[in-house]
A and B are shown apart, each in its own frame.
Chain A
């Protein structure tokens, strides 16, 4: 019996690994773009913008859907694997020399300094095309770029939704008062880099028939805020708007989804 459980566990872990997409995060390119009058020094902004790839790696590390390939150290790792093939390691310890896989996607950050625009692009390695892109105009002050980490994370949340349709399920209501859902359990936790007070957009999909083609349309029904991050996979959301509508949809057994959509001043 134990062997059967072990086999199932191994198969499941293999399948999980297979369903994870491999993403490489590249270093950020800074380009001038159109020159505009800039009252604040750009030197510091240029320096701080170099943190964007690091924020991206930190955000996506341990994400359920992605495995981040360490681009920065690829040559170091290859050298180590080659070294471990030598006779000096014959009785020592070596890592499993298994197949080194390439990446499925490349995340490329770009900063257009003249326009203060941060762009995140995802390239599909197989087709060589841009799968999707997000851009955001940044605010700068005398100290540099404001809220860079928070903005990068918000853009990444949006990118995951736009590019990969990654959304998170409304699991169940936690607190209901007078037919209005007050708090609910969301299938999003520390692994998805959700934080307390993150803004949550609550929506569902309706199917529209346009020229004999069924197209899904996103309908936003409410808004909430992360009240508590419970564990790797779950958080509790406090509803700010749309509690009644959510309750109605739940009665209709409608599937409700959520994404993080922070508004950063």
Chain B
């Protein structure tokens, strides 16, 4: 009996352990640092901050960008285990360890002031990839604040003692010799310069939110707790279900949103903007920026379901506003390496219609092998295996164009010019309009502009409508309303689009739904609409 009892106990605890086997968030840290001492020191400090994150599931890896080699870091405090998210982290920039002396002169050429400037241009690029699907989730740039102290003041006497002569005269008589002495002086100050950077308050304060900025909140939306007993007409503080384990950042701005309907489409309306005030264990507090909010108070009393979402979490906001059942399109971008083309990647991964697949990261194969290791047999590996996303469309650049290729047929389905500034420099950006055109070229019957509702009609004119497109709508975009006329072309009936009206996007309800203010053709549109004629709304060629 005792043996049976022990067996049951062991079996049950085995199950419990398996259920507690959480996957890690693996951070691949670029090992190819600019080797200046300040950078190495800062980097070390920031890595230690990442390890200390309380969720305890962070694992660091040394990552060689050039040969894609991944090695488990000795800094880790827990053993290696399979991951669900891979974060690529790369530093960029440098601290100015050997700057040029800043020398001020008066009108006679006499040196009046000497200082050593302290400057840094350092940032970290972080890219999140969902390991199970290879889907790009997020990328961000974390700017390292430059030092507060802008320079080290040097007395002219000290400088002249170093160079052994009058500085102003030497600068006039032998500039090349003077330049060499300048460099030697700065070199002699090297340790002090490094010390200044290390001691700088600003640089130290960077580490405070570094880990949170790299990791970003684990949960995307938080439910706001209703306050039915609220007596005030305006409310300044709210409570929501989110806490320490959600990587919330103090003072981060969040939107409070509520669901509304327009026609058959829903959208999330912004009610208020609040900042994280108090981070609790599982319930936290947010406050309005300045004054109390009346509309928020009304909804809290009524018990309307409200959500909080981070202000710059465009993916989540777009996802919430997309109509249910919209089919997605998986796309990959042809480029060299994991980083690069961040602006273009962002427009795709923030659009819930698209799944951006990462195919420039052979490093992911390390984690695929790890997941197959028999040491991890008691992990729920079915959650991370067999779910890889293949991509349907490939976006590849040529010198002046972007080409979209359908994988199934290897056919180029759409091509468009790269954006330029003043007709010259080509920039890596894609407009919302081009996203719509890509979708229309791929599946024109699935992805199209939908008329949500006629908003403003006067006598025999339609002046304002609401439209929806899952790829998103931007203010100022122009759309054309077309009807169809039949034309006989060599005995075949072909439908010809006839321009009925033109409109521009105005007020936005959500990223996917906006007002379209009709110009040119209000009467014609009114007539066609009420006669139930077939019409379509398409983005104008002018909207690039």
Residues of B within 8 A of A87 (CB): 386
Answer whether residue A77 sits at the interface, using C-beta atoms and an 8 A cutoff: yes
Given contacts A89-B390, A93-B389, A169-B490, A100 and B407 within 8 Å (CB-CB) = no
Residues of B within 8 A of A171 (CB): 487-489
Q: Within the complex, what minimum Cβ distance (angstroms) separates B542 from chain A?
A: 12
B497 lies within 8 A of A231 (CB): yes
CA distance A96 to B403 in the complex (A): 21
- Residues from 460 to 518 in B contacting A, C-beta threshold 8 Å: 482, 487-490, 494, 496-499
Given contacts A57-B412, A73-B334, A92 and B494 within 8 Å (CB-CB) = no
Answer whether residue A76 sits at the interface, using C-beta atoms and an 8 A cutoff: yes
Residues of B within 8 A of A81 (CB): 407
CA distance A100 to B334 in the complex (A): 21
A77 lies within 8 A of B415 (CB): no
Answer whether residue B436 sits at the interface, using C-beta atoms and an 8 A cutoff: no
A95 lies within 8 A of B408 (CB): yes
Residue of A nearest to B393 (CB): A95
Answer whether residue A74 sits at the interface, using C-beta atoms and an 8 A cutoff: yes
A72 lies within 8 A of B398 (CB): yes
CA distance A219 to B396 in the complex (A): 43
Interface string of B399-442 (1 = CB under 8 A from A): 11101010111111111010000000000000000000000010
- Residues from 219 to 237 in A contacting B, C-beta threshold 8 Å: 230-234
A50 lies within 8 A of B396 (CB): no
Q: Within the complex, what minimum Cβ distance (angstroms) separates B420 from chain A?
A: 14
CA distance A61 to B417 in the complex (A): 13
B408 lies within 8 A of A98 (CB): yes
Q: Within the complex, what minimum Cβ distance (angstroms) separates B374 from chain A?
A: 17
Among B133, B399, B405, B412, chain A packs the most CB atoms within 10 A around the CB of B412
Answer whether residue A208 sits at the interface, using C-beta atoms and an 8 A cutoff: no
Answer whether residue B392 sits at the interface, using C-beta atoms and an 8 A cutoff: yes
Residues of A within 8 A of B396 (CB): 70, 72-73
Answer whether residue B61 sits at the interface, using C-beta atoms and an 8 A cutoff: no
Q: Within the complex, what minimum Cβ distance (angstroms) separates A49 from chain B?
A: 11
Residue of B nearest to A168 (CB): B489
Residues of B within 8 A of A202 (CB): none
B359 lies within 8 A of A80 (CB): yes
In the complex, besides A57-B403, A92-B388, A100-B410, 9 extra interface pairs with C-beta distance below 8 angstroms are A61-B414, A73-B394, A87-B386, A93-B355, A172-B487, A231-B496, A233-B494, A233-B496, A234-B487
What 6 A-B pairs come out closest when comparing CB atoms?
A231-B497, A84-B390, A54-B398, A70-B405, A61-B415, A68-B412
